[in-house]
Amino acid sequence: MEFAFYFASGVAVVSTLRVITASNPVHALLYLVISLLAVAMCFFSLGAPFAGALEIIVYAGAIMVLFVFVVMMLNLGPAVAQQERAWLTARIWIGPSLLAIALLAQLLYVLFSDPSGATLGQTSVSPKEVGIALFGPYLLAVELASLLLLGALVAAFHLGRHEAKE
């Protein structure tokens, strides 16, 4: 399992660097999906399958859909659409595809190899334990984070709405 952790963390670092250095937002989003999947693989290899599943569902699912909608809502005009068509070729998918195939190969290797017993995370964390921790001693932090997200949602709504022209 140490191999799985280090391999997934290497893929996460490489894809995150590509997110930072990408000049096109669509390319950065593709590499961000791979980065989030690699972080989820790190959680799985550490013995936290619930955290890994939440990483995939919340970040790679919901947040990425939100980013795609933001990119679509910008709608910068036909010139930018033509530029996007020129940028979005089959060659663009090579990097994210190679990293995704590497993560898939790692997953298959870990699933079908003999268990060695040398895991980094010795125990597994159950969803009940996560809920008890979040709504026990960390309740104030969870509520403050939810209020911060609510404030960001209201601000995004007011910044993004169009005023009716009279």
- Note the pLDDT of residue 13: 92
Task: Extract the residue ranges of the chain whose pLDDT is less than 70.
Answer: 1, 72-81, 84, 87, 111, 114-125, 162-166
- Note the pLDDT of residue 118: 45
Q: Which of 152, 147, 160, 155 is nearest to 63 (CA)?
A: 152
Measured from the Cβ of residue 32, the count of other Cβ atoms closer than 10 Å reads 23
Tokens of 40: 């989820």
Measured from the Cβ of residue 54, the count of other Cβ atoms closer than 10 Å reads 15
Instruction: For 44-70, write each residue's pLDDT tens digit.
Output: 888 778 888 888 888 877 777 777 777
- Note the pLDDT of residue 115: 60
In Å, what is the CA distance from 159 to each residue of 66, 156, 162?
16, 5, 8
**Are the C-beta atoms of 25 and 71 separated by less than 8 Å?**
yes
**Are the C-beta atoms of 48 and 125 separated by less than 8 Å?**
yes
| pTM confidence score | 0.57
Instruction: For 21-38, write each residue's pLDDT tens digit.
Output: 988 777 888 888 889 889
